Amino acid sequence: MFTTSDNGDEPVRLAVIGAGTWGSVLAHIAAPCAQVSLYSATGKNVQALQQDRRHPKLPGFILDPRVEVKSTMGEELREASAVILVVASRYVRDMARQIASLIQPDAVVCIAAKGLEQGSAKTLSEVVAEELPEADICVLSGGSHAEEVATNLPFGISLAGSPHARSVVKRVFAKARARISEQDDVQSLERFGAVKNLIAIAAGIAEGLALGDNFRACFLTDALTEARRFVGASPEDVLSYGALGDLLATALSVHSRNFRYGCWLGQGLSPEKALAEVDMVVEGLNVAKVFDQFPRSDCPLLTRAANIAVHHENITRERFLSRLGY
């Protein structure tokens, strides 16, 4: 279902927590419709965003002057009717705990991070619900590279949650150049957003090994079949911006950090050097560790891809194909 935003009389007070590339861009595109505060979870990028309105990893991007950039979170968070969490998946639980006493108990909390909790394999909405039991939780996920959204190029994204939470988030992004598809199933959207990063690493390795377009098409088709099984999604949801759209954008683009990481591995770099080249969080690695810890007999291709990502060594074409089962 495709929708446009509801109109409200009062602008939403929005807190975006996480001043990485995606958090900064989300704050920027929300500014025409909301009173936005952007918080850095780590203190990084604050000076550049405050003084120059620029982000070190987004050349040419200038943050909307209406966005207030902050380095610390305080009582003012209670004024926010909506919070967007855009921190790496491994920090989501700690961040939810930090804001638990600061935000309105029934605030809309939108998760714009992707991944699974390592050690438990829980989705991020499950993690946040444990720490913020009264919050109205929703998830925003799709094929939306910050580098392109920052330049006002159109994109599609999926939104899952309660009708009220979806209505608030749609108001926030009413003037963004986005098509928003909606669904009720939060966890299927999250699980697909997580697993597609693992698929993108394997697709990147294949690209680095120059295995060609035919193999990549074959692998992505097989991986999509298993991803649907892992997620438990309906055929309609698989064809959404948050599933197929996200997979295409992530597994076929040089903007994708997971794809680039895989490319570097395929070209012979060590995991440490590949991470240094990407110089950003590679969420697919965390998902790979979850799959490696909790292998799925009904998803053999994804489990093998995870094993390759976690237990990587100098790998040849034939060894890569053999380990994947081709």
Alpha-carbon span 128 to 132, nearest angstrom: 6
Residues of the chain with pLDDT under 70: 1-9
- Domains 2-184 and 188-324 alike in fold: no
| Sequence-ordered strand ranges (E) for the chain | 2-3, 12-17, 34-39, 68-70, 82-85, 108-111, 136-141, 155-161, 178-183
pLDDT at 20: 94
Structural element, H or E, at residue 202: helix 186-208
Structure tokens at 58: 């987004």
As to burial, measured by CB atoms within 10 angstroms (0-12 exposed, 13-18 middle, 19+ buried), residue 179 is middle
Identify the architecture of domain 188-324 in CATH: Orthogonal Bundle (1.10)
> What is the per-residue pLDDT for 6?
44
Radius of gyration of the chain (CA): 19
Q: Which CATH number fits domain 2-184: 3.40.462.10, 3.40.367.20, 3.40.190.10, 3.40.50.720?
A: 3.40.50.720
Please indicate, yes or no, whether the overall pTM of this predicted structure exceeds 0.85.
yes
CA 199 to chain centre: 14
How far are the Cα atoms of 21, 46, 69 from residue 24, in angstroms, in the given order?
Answer: 5, 10, 9
Per residue in 156-194, pLDDT tens? 999 999 999 999 999 999 999 999 999 999 999 999 999
pLDDT at 75: 87
What are the residue numbers of the active site? 196
Q: What is the pLDDT of residue 10?
A: 74
Between the CA atoms of 213, 217, 218 and 224, what dihedral angle is there, to the nearest 10 degrees?
150
Helix axes 186-208, 283-293, angle to 10 degrees: 100
Encoded tokens for 224: 């999509």
- Domain positions in the chain are 2-184, 188-324
